[in-house]
Amino acid sequence: MPALLSPQSKFLVLGRAGMDLYADPPGTEVEVATKFSTALGGSSGNIAAGLARHRLSTSLLTGVSDDAVGRFVLNELERYGIDATHVSVLPGESRTSLAVTETRIENTQNTLYRNNASDLLLSEDQIAEVTFEDFDALIVTGTALASNPSRTATLRAMEHARNADALVVIDLDYRPYSWPSAHEAAETYRAAIEASDVVVGNDDEFAVVANGLHEDGRQLAEELGQDDKTIIYKMGEKGSIVYSKDETFETGIFPVTAIKPMGAGDAFMASLMASMATGHSLRDAVLRGSAAAAMVVSRFGCAPAMPTSAELDTFVSQNSAPQT
């Protein structure tokens, strides 16, 4: 098993980073908006921002387009203190992801532009340039597995990280529109899970991996937890269940007044890993991940909403632990 994380641990996050355009002010529908606010976006970009907000050493491994949107992402990474050494700027006609979205809780519209996405052009040559021994943890978001060359490169990165004794973590992050079929997604996810130490996913995602119903997905999560892996099985408003060889436990969610549905999963992952790195038990780390998720859905934006360690400490101390 990989060494335990510490406050000095170095994190490498692999996957999509892009630009978010939020209809402004909050509550505005995109089609009637006259102005928008910008933010760093993409699941991996958000997770990296969350880790950086906890003042942890964080690098991103991805590709961006050689245009204004790609440069926006690079500027945002610098502003958050995220190392962009392993972010390739790609010439040609690929494009950095652009999300046009809203800050409202019901009927939220989120239009994602992903044609010829730069991040899905991640190559094995780019992976070969990474010294994985420099990192203590690799965090992968499942979107990077949706197509090649990124799929093969991502699996190779996971293999290299594992061989370097880094902790390998995957957020399944299944987006059906990105995949040719659910069957192909299931086969690919199973290979990625095999290479991982920590697997985070919701009930729908585990059901896809199991090629069946939700009961099959939950059974799969439980079985994987007996195989030297830590499995975090999320169930939305019902909280989450952790399966591992050492313990199995449930955690509820913190009730808040949400203003948008996005960003919870990325906040959960970032604060889960940050809490593990700063000496919290797995049980407390999951609790703090749940708290971070609650904080982000009640704030504007995703990356800008990620809490610092101090903000998270205050929230947890002022709010009752969720009941299961």
Which runs of E-coded beta strand occur in the chain?
Answer: 10-14, 18-23, 36-41, 57-65, 83-90, 98-101, 110-113, 137-141, 167-171, 198-202, 230-234, 240-243, 248-251
Which residue is it, tokens 């971070």?
A: 292
Domains identified in the chain and CATH numbers: 12-318 (3.40.1190.20)
8 A C-beta contact, residue 39 and residue 18:
no
Give the pLDDT band (50/70/90) at residue 87. very high
Mean pLDDT of the chain: 96
Query: Which pLDDT score is estimated for 39?
Result: 98
Give the pLDDT band (50/70/90) at residue 213. confident
Q: Which two tokens stand for residue 125?
A: 């040559």
8 A C-beta contact, residue 258 and residue 224:
no
Distance CA 300, CA 267 (A): 13
> Rounded to the nearest 10 degrees, how much is the dihedral formed by the CA atoms of 200, 205, 209, 214?
110
Give the pLDDT band (50/70/90) at residue 4. confident
Over residues 237-294, the pLDDT tens digits come to 999 999 999 999 999 999 999 999 999 999 999 999 999 999 999 999 999 999 999 9
Query: Which pLDDT score is estimated for 33?
Result: 97
Query: Which pLDDT score is estimated for 2?
Result: 65
> What pTM value is reported for the model?
0.96
Distance CA 16, CA 291 (A): 24
Query: Which pLDDT score is estimated for 324?
Result: 65
Residue 1 has pLDDT above 60, yes or no: no
Q: Once rounded to an integer, what is the mean pLDDT over residues 200-224?
A: 93
